[in-house]
Structure 1
Amino acid sequence: MEQFSNQKLKGGYCNDLNNYSRFLTREVNVGGIIMGGNNPIRVQSMTTTDTMNTLATVEQTIRMVEAGCEYVRITAPSIKEAENLAEIKKQLKLRGYDVPLIADIHFTPNAAELAARIVEKVRVNPGNYADKKKFEEIEYTASAYEAELERIRKKFTPLVKICKEYGTAMRIGTNHGSLSDRIMSHYGDTPEGMVESAMEFIRICEAESFHNLVISMKASNTQIMVQAYRLLVQTMVKENMNYPLHLGVTEAGDGEDGRIKSAVGIGTLLEDGLGDTIRVSLTEEPEAEIPVARALVDRYVRRSTESKKVESKILNDQSENVHYSPFNYTRRKTNSVLNIGGAIPPVVCIDISGENLKDPYMLTSLGYNYSALLDKYNLSDQAADIVFLGDNLPSFTLPGNLKQVYNYKTWLEIEDKENCYPIFNAKEIDVNHVWDEHLNFIEISTNDDLELSNLKNYQTEGKNIVLVLSTESSHGMAAQRAFFLALENHQLDFPVIIKRTYQSDLLLENVKLYASTDFGALFTDGFGDGIWLSNPQNIVEINSTCFGILQATRTRISKTEYISCPSCGRTLFDLQETTQMIRSRTDHLKGVKIGIMGCIVNGPGEMADADYGYVGTGPDKITLYRGKEVVKKSVHSSNALDELIDLIKEDGNWVEKLG
């Protein structure tokens, strides 16, 4: 067995909370492309074609490989699909492609055992492979629970032995939406349950001296997903294991929402050095997933060669104790200053200092629709809360509920200061400083040579202060997190708006991914009372991204959330077309979560995290859910959306779309 020395993990799950350090896992060989250890973080995806359609599957696989996919997963729901993997593999080799193939197995051990003799890796889902899910609550005695584990052991061990004999790798892939009734009854719908579901199977593998394993903890809820992976690492280390991790947010959705949500979940873990292979699950063609995954991964190739040390006095202000739990979401406690902080959802601040401020219609890009006839603004659900104008004075009246922030010297010269507030650097404060009686912003960089204890006087004096936290560190998320921990150490309860600025030449698509990672990691851990993404490229996109990040971290809900799977060979309808159809009629339902699943593999479970579900259960047949409860079965697809809307109306959650 590969040597692994038990190590002390910071925060209970990573090597170092302050400096980038990749968690060292054992190497796993998947068809000659090795993951784990010091190997590159691998990128993979999954075909969406019918596995029995050899030509379509081969051609889609080639498109994926050409896009940069290193492993290709193909569904094998039954023996016939498992058998056809051999033909798919043969045809790929005839065309000069030797990409490792992964068989995706859920309910059929016999298909898994056959596939393990053909492909380079099999993926099994513990909740489906040898267990059941009927949403039954079962009380187990200790002996009855052990008997269930023995039943699973007997059913799973043959596959383990085959993989060991053929040199086939295995992913034990827990999914939040398909935990078994046994696990749910014992642990509940929790990260702990997800981890134990995988650990049961890992221990069986270890008992057979089979270690060619990769582990995943997927969920559509980014908070649950992140917590489960962290807890898995902590648990494995306690049991002297370090298997590589496959990262992914399942059912992330499509478009901007799917990309942001994936970057929040995957990026949060990559920031802390976790992850050996990733899959971005978008409801799009699989080759569209690869550039997104590659952009996320490549950032950490550079990170490992950049200066690792976070240089700041702030680090010296940290306590050795971690003041938050990385395994449970708790928002940092702050005082509330003029609707910022406290229990108020995080605010969105947009920099318009470089914009032409002569026309009130320019605020449309920030969610404020101006009517010249009524001389008033109508707010959308994604209307920014604060604008930074710097030294740029507008020639029109801004909405009354939109806070204006000016550089301190410019703010001093404004005659009517109603709804106008100053921002200044902590070092600029002197005895003659003029404070606004309601709200003052102080910008601090994690790289500042600043004693946080100097801020204590402002708190004691009751100054109405909101901190704006920026960073120039190459590992900026960790530096900003260090700042929050230092605030806790000094018992400073100022609200904090997190600010990030990216290179002006960075592609907008990458700005969104990087911001989702950097902000998302902090909001996922309960840090931050506001978001300020400073980038001059496109304020419409920047505003949308900010709200998207808060939605993905579930810290502020501003729109409908779609939990839609990325499709595969099991899918019983066109997921992309159906998702867009449902979105076109329901995207105005703020706060409503709709699950759109192509089949029943994860559908019923994921419905537990959605308010309503639309799940394919047969050709042209849809089952509708309210939460995890089946409401209507075998609805014809031509009527299913209307009946879903009727269900939403019946519950009083429908509002008519404006415009």
Structure 2
Amino acid sequence: MQTLPNPTQTQSPSSPAIATTIERRKTRPVPVGNITIGGGHPVVVQSMINEDTLDIEGSVAAIRRLHEIGCEIVRVTVPSLAHAKALSEIKQKLKDTYQPVPLVADVHHNGMKIALEVAKHVDKVRINPGLYVFEKPKADRTEYTEAEFAEIGDKIRQTLEPLVISLRDQGKAMRIGVNHGSLAERMLFTYGDTPEGMVESALEFIQICESLDFYNIVISLKASRVPVMLAAYRLMVRRMDELGMSYPLHLGVTEAGDGEYGRIKSTAGIATLLADGIGDTIRVSLTESPEKEIPVCYSILQALGLRKTMVEYVACPSCGRTLFNLEEVLHKVREATNHLTGLDIAVMGCIVNGPGEMADADYGYVGRQPGYISLYRGKEEIKKVPEDQGVEELINLIKADGRWVDP
């Protein structure tokens, strides 16, 4: 007769503990200005300004707006040599009028001269292997011979080497940022439009960097389709493990769109990998103002327990037992406390769900009986108060514990 497991027993005394926290993949630390990516440091939040880099005042203001709301590294585009030179003024103006902000420059399309110039002024240079040495497609091509493949590889090395040496000698960083939609033609012919092609494209550039004793490298393999993005990053981790590499990874779903779906799509890709311990820095790419990306990044990190940057609200979905307007009360509690950090606050509709399901919260606001609520500190009921005094008394309790700060 088969013995069924006891549903109340979560593990036997001899079984290993089941982890309830994420164990992150060990990666090498890569400094980017005053921020470090990887090496056990907190997952870093990034975004990118929309302003033309030639607009010095506008770019400085945009970078500052992002940095003030928690964006730790800001990316700018440098499509020309003039844009690259403008970064010198932007960097200096930030230092003079605000504070130094870690900056990344995006370089595309045969960008060696641009990259060498901008490397003087920023903390990290992002290159796209599919575009850095642009291969003009041939309409009648049916294959790449080994000789042709090697010839282009040599050309890549020639154009990449001066940039690598410059970054290496300055102690700066590079992001090798592969995009699924812009793989080089020879990679498409050799590997197809696949995660394998993305990974091999990145490895080709990594190996050139390593041959020049340069290791301040961050890797990204972005795609607009979440399954492709997931497959590419997982394959990259496997290949790096095989090759003894431990470079940090920048996660993102490129061209995720806007609104609710854009946020869900980004979260589906980024959070899935973070939950597996993969990822050291993230960007949520929305077709909205860059400032809208930062709250989504922090929400993802907070939900996974990777960073604590705001209040965590625990609230039941409401049911027939709920003794007050839960949605309205949660809104009031949030409005009063959302400037705090590092607290868990529960708002529960009834005593059935209350104490048990909010056991991990620092403070609880629980429907006790019609017109009254109970306030909890952890699992301990502190007082019962009229509902119309609930939020005020919750604030008083937080203040009494010395955990309140004024907005």
Question: TM-score of the superposition, structure 2-length normalised?
Answer: 0.70
Match 1:208 to one of 204, 212, 218: 212
Q: What is the aligned partner in structure 2 of residue 45 from structure 1?
A: 47
Are 1:152 and 2:174 matched, yes or no? no
How far apart in 2 are the matches of 1:153 and 1:22?
A: 33
Q: Deviations over 1:346-378 (max 9, x none)?
A: xxxxx99759xxxxxxxxxxxxxxxxxxxxxxx
Match 2:276 to one of 269, 272, 286: 272
Match 2:29 to one of 22, 27, 30: 27
Cα distance, 1:245–1:352 mapped onto 2, change above 3 Å: same
Report the CA distance between 1:301 and its aligned residue. Answer: 4.0
How many positions carry a matched residue from both structures?
Answer: 301
Match 2:228 to one of 219, 224, 242: 224
Cα distance, 1:183–1:243 mapped onto 2, change above 3 Å: same
Cα distance, 1:55–1:303 mapped onto 2, change above 3 Å: closer
Report the CA distance between 1:141 and its aligned residue. Answer: 2.3
Q: What is the aligned partner in structure 1 of residue 83 from structure 2?
A: 81
Instruction: Report the 3-state secondary structure (helix = DSSP H, G, I; strand = E; otherwise coil) of the residue aligned with 2:75.
Output: strand
Cα distance, 1:97–1:257 mapped onto 2, change above 3 Å: same
Are 1:194 and 2:198 matched, yes or no? yes
Match 2:122 to one of 119, 122, 128: 119
Once the two structures are superposed, the pairs formed by residues 216-365 of structure 1 within 5 Å of their partners are: 216-301=220-305, 354=320
- Aligned partner of 2:154: which letter? E
Instruction: Report the 3-state secondary structure (helix = DSSP H, G, I; strand = E; otherwise coil) of the residue aligned with 2:115.
Output: helix
Q: Which has the higher helix share?
A: 2
Report the CA distance between 1:18 and its aligned residue. Answer: 8.8
CA contact (8 A) 1:133 1:180 kept: no
CA contact (8 A) 2:42 2:306 kept: no
Q: What is the aligned partner in structure 2 of residue 130 from structure 1?
A: 133
How far apart in 2 are the matches of 1:248 and 1:17?
A: 26
Match 1:168 to one of 167, 172, 182: 172
- Aligned partner of 1:180: which letter? A
CA contact (8 A) 2:64 2:98 kept: no
Once the two structures are superposed, the pairs formed by residues 537-552 of structure 1 within 5 Å of their partners are: none
Q: Deviations over 1:523-575 (max 9, x none)?
A: xxxxxxxxxxxxxxxxxxxxxxxxxxxxxxxxxxxxxxxxxxxxxxxxxxxxx
- Aligned partner of 2:25: which letter? F
CA contact (8 A) 2:76 2:105 kept: yes
Instruction: Report the 3-state secondary structure (helix = DSSP H, G, I; strand = E; otherwise coil) of the residue aligned with 1:281.
Output: coil
CA contact (8 A) 1:133 1:179 kept: no
How far apart in 2 are the matches of 1:180 and 1:234?
A: 22
Q: Deviations over 1:584-618 (max 9, x none)?
A: xxxxxxxxxxxxxxxxxxxxxxxxxxxxxxxxxxx
Report the CA distance between 1:93 and its aligned residue. Answer: 0.8
Once the two structures are superposed, the pairs formed by residues 437-452 of structure 1 within 5 Å of their partners are: none
Once the two structures are superposed, the pairs formed by residues 489-504 of structure 1 within 5 Å of their partners are: none
How far apart in 1 are the matches of 2:136 and 2:197?
A: 14
How far apart in 2 are the matches of 1:277 and 1:262?
A: 14
Instruction: Report the 3-state secondary structure (helix = DSSP H, G, I; strand = E; otherwise coil) of the residue aligned with 1:122.
Output: strand
- Aligned partner of 2:197: which letter? G
Cα distance, 1:224–1:133 mapped onto 2, change above 3 Å: farther
Are 1:109 and 2:122 matched, yes or no? no
Instruction: Report the 3-state secondary structure (helix = DSSP H, G, I; strand = E; otherwise coil) of the residue aligned with 1:97.
Output: coil
How far apart in 2 are the matches of 1:204 and 1:195?
A: 15
Cα distance, 1:258–1:93 mapped onto 2, change above 3 Å: same
Report the CA distance between 1:302 and its aligned residue. Answer: 5.1
Question: TM-score of the superposition, structure 1-length normalised?
Answer: 0.43
Structure 2: which 5+ residue stretches go unaligned? 1-17, 309-316, 322-357, 366-407
Cα distance, 1:302–1:262 mapped onto 2, change above 3 Å: closer
Once the two structures are superposed, the pairs formed by residues 51-70 of structure 1 within 5 Å of their partners are: 51-70=53-72
* Overall identity of the aligned pairs, in %: 50
How far apart in 1 are the matches of 2:295 and 2:136?
A: 35
- Aligned partner of 1:151: which letter? K
How far apart in 2 are the matches of 1:249 and 1:352?
A: 34
- Aligned partner of 1:126: which letter? P
CA contact (8 A) 2:180 2:221 kept: yes
How far apart in 1 are the matches of 2:19 and 2:183?
A: 31
Q: Deviations over 1:438-468 (max 9, x none)?
A: xxxxxxxxxxxxxxxxxxxxxxxxxxxxxxx
Report the CA distance between 1:32 and its aligned residue. Answer: 2.0
How far apart in 1 are the matches of 2:300 and 2:217?
A: 23
Report the CA distance between 1:261 and its aligned residue. Answer: 0.7
CA contact (8 A) 2:253 2:266 kept: yes
Structure 1: which 5+ residue stretches go unaligned? 1-15, 305-350, 356-471, 475-503, 506-659
Instruction: Report the 3-state secondary structure (helix = DSSP H, G, I; strand = E; otherwise coil) of the residue aligned with 1:145.
Output: helix
- Aligned partner of 1:199: which letter? L
